[in-house]
Structure 1
Amino acid sequence: MTMYGSGYSALSMSSVSRSAGYRRGTSVHGGAGGSNVRVSYASNGLGSGFDLASALGGGGGGGGDGSSFSISGSEKHTMQNLNDRLATYLEKVRMLEGANTTLERQIREWYDRQTPTVNDYSKYEAIIEDLRKKISVATQDNARLMLQIDNARLAAEDFRIKFENELAVRMSVEADIAGLRRVLDELTMSRSDLEMQVEGLKEELVYLKKNHEEEIAAMRSQVNSSSVNVEVDAKPQVDISATINEIRAQYESITEKNRREMEEWYKVKFDELNSQVASSTETLQVSRTEINDLKRTLQSLQIELQSQQSLKSALEGQLAETESNYNMKLSHLQIRVNTLEEELKNVRADIERQAYDYKVLFDIKTRLEMEIAEYRRLLDGEERILIEEIVDGKVVSRTEDVNTEVIE
């Protein structure tokens, strides 16, 4: 019978030496490395004594020191008792094997239950990819809108410069028109003065004509009243009327000439100014229309840019929230995986420990079955020695035939 404790094993076999009134029993105990070996001899006979080192009292193959005891009485009764105890021990071994099988099944079931299910995140990956594509498209649209805004800003700047230039031209034309109007006013005043002078000359001419007629009438009356013929050798009198008419004609021709020249010059200048004002007004109107269109375009682009920026901010926030949620889920899953790996490590350690215990129990069972077989051979009348030694940590068994020593 074998004992396991603290890395040592002990084997005790009862043997009976055939004699007339006295039988000697010996046993075999083996230690590590094959030292301290004791051999037990066995033979058939009626009265017998047994020296056993057994671990049957503890109900298992744990660790403990073996104890020797001696049983007197009938050899058959003793062997039957020993076989019963061995059968009980084997029953305990079978019970432990069943418990080990049940425990292994429970471990497998627990492992199957605790195996983390792999979640399918493909739909979320598709959503994330779609959001990334939307962000990319929004970024491209934003860049395109920024380019359009820059182009519109440059065009507006060009139109502003053109407007300022046209405004300067318009102001210059208006200044020229104001100057021409002043000249026209001066010419009008000069014309009025000339007309007043003409009227004055006309009145003076009428007055002179009236005086001349009165003088002629007076002279005629004097001539008619006197009969004296006086011949005067004098120069003929100047015809005042002809002179006045000539002067009047000269002034009228000069005035008419000046009037025609002034009207023609004024008409030419007025036409030029009108054409310039019309052209400037048309250009100014076109520029104002283009500026208004550009302002509306710029305003619509700014509104669209703000909406795109809002959409971009919302998408970036949604993406950040999604990534945060996924990172949190991944961290939880990683913690769960680490916990399960630790539990799996503990389960594997328990399985290895139980496998080691099972191996130890199986070795004990094997040796007990060998001892039972040996006891059966003893009961059948065989006489041999069973020696078990532990050599380099391994159990080595051998049997040898022995001679029976009879002591008188």
Structure 2
Amino acid sequence: MFAEPSLLGAFEKHLMLNLNQRLETYLSQVQLLEEENTLLTKEVQALRRSNHGASTRRKGLEEELQQARLEVDAAWRDRVHTELEVGRLTEELQVMDLQRQREAQAQVKAETVLEQSRKQLGEEQRAQIWLRGKINQLEQEKRLLLHTHQEDVACLEATLAQSRTTKPTTLVQRGNQIPNLLQLGQEYSQSSTRAWQEAAQAYEFQLAQLQESLNQSRSHLIQVGQEKSESHLKVQALEKEISSAQELRWHLEKSVAQQRDIHSHEIQQLQVSGLEAEKEDLHQQISHLLCENRGLLKLKMSLGLEVATYRYTSKIISRLILAQLVTTFQAQDVKYNKRILKLQCP
């Protein structure tokens, strides 16, 4: 009876030692898992720090992108300023074109006036030729009148001389006629002289008018020629200004197109670089998350395996202990029964 409790105590002691050893093994495994968890935590922190570096790099890229956007805005402002300058030059070209058209119209008008002045000058020259012929005709008439007057005077003188040699009665009769003839000759001479003077005055007046008209026509022609030359010079200057303005406009448009292409290319490059940086950042984040997920899955699986192993081991140990206890109790019962039988049958 005393041996059986000692055996049970030894078995329980052995069982407790075995359980303590297994518990120590489990605790050591748990410690190892905690150390692995600490290492994983450090790795996660390192990954987070690297992610912080990536965010810093991303911030730098965003700052560069912001700077590039500011440069693009400045380029767009320059482009708008250039387009405004081109518009202003276009308006100036339109104004210059209108001025050139006005100058051309003025030149056409001046040429028309010049042609009219030439026609007037031709008419005045023809009128002057006609007046000269008229003056010659008047001079011929004057000479003819003088000649006729001289012939009449000579005829009268001859008549007077002949009348002096005639009879006294005739002298008496003619005596009353001679004063009349002399008076008639004087009146005729005065009228001829007056007509010649009037004709000469009219000729001189017409000649002065023609000379004045000729001088006016010459001055007008000179003025028209000067205006024509000035208009021609202005037209040439306007054509030069228009050509230079068109060339400047072409250069400005070419420069604007080049700047637009350069800015578009830079914007595309910046967008591509920004997208690549974001892609790289996202790739790193995804890789980091995948690594964390894998580590957590491994940790979860290892812990699950450990727990399952511990549970399974605990169940097996419990079953083995129960089986050993049952076997021990059965063996003890058999021995006890045998001893009882031996005691009962001496």
Counterpart residue number, 2:112: 161
1:351-389 deviations in Å (ceiling 9; x for gaps): 3312321331342465478679x68xx9xxxx779xxxx
Higher helix share: 2
Alignment-derived partner of residue 31 in structure 1 = none
Preserved contact between residue 93 and residue 361 of structure 1 (Cα < 8 Å): no
Normalising by structure 1, what TM-score? 0.56
- Say if 1:88 and 1:256 are closer, same or farther in 2 by CA, change over 3 A: same
Aligned partner of 2:298 in structure 1 is: 361
- Select the residue among 88, 91, 96 that pairs with 1:137: 88
Structure with more of its chain in strand, by fraction = 1
Residue in structure 2 matched with residue 313 of structure 1 by the alignment: 250
Shift of 1:109: 0.9
1:103 aligns to 2:40 (yes or no): no
- Report how far residue 328 of structure 1 moved: 1.2
**1:166, 1:284 within 8 Å by CA — same for their partners in 2?**
yes
1:56-84 CA distances to partner (integer Å, 9 max, x unpaired)?
xxxxxxxxxxxxxxxxxx66555545554
Q: Cα 1:108–1:361, aligned 2, differ >3 Å: closer, same or farther?
A: farther
Shift of 1:190: 6.0
Identity of aligned residues (%): 13
1:99-248 to structure 2, matched below 5 A, reads 99-114=43-58, 115-116=61-62, 117-118=64-65, 119=67, 120-121=70-71, 122-188=73-139
Contact 1:184 1:266 in 2 (8 A): yes
Change (3 A) 1:44 1:272: farther
1:93 and 1:365 in contact (8 A); partners too: no
1:147 & 1:177 partners in 2: Cα distance?
43
Residues 1:334 and 2:271 are matched in the alignment: yes
CA RMSD of aligned residues (A): 4.9
Judged with a 3 Å threshold, the aligned counterparts in structure 2 of structure 1 residues 361 and 101 are, in CA distance, closer, same or farther, namely farther
CA distance in 2, matches of 1:154, 1:284: 18
In structure 1, distance between residues paired with 2:262 and 2:13? 83
> What residue identity is the alignment partner of 1:322?
Q
After alignment, is 313-322 or 88-97 more displaced?
88-97
The answer to which structure, 1 or 2, has the higher relative contact order (CA under 8 A, 6+ apart) is: 2
Change (3 A) 1:168 1:47: same
Check the 8 A contact 2:47/2:288 in 1, yes or no: no
Q: For residue 260 of structure 2, what is the aligned residue in structure 1?
A: 323
- On the 8 A contact 2:51/2:285 being kept in 1, the answer is no
TM-score (norm 2): 0.64
Q: 1:147 to 1:235 in 2, by over 3 A?
A: closer
Deviation at residue 333 of structure 1 after TM alignment = 1.0
Unpaired runs of at least 5, structure 1: 1-18, 24-42, 49-73, 220-231, 386-400
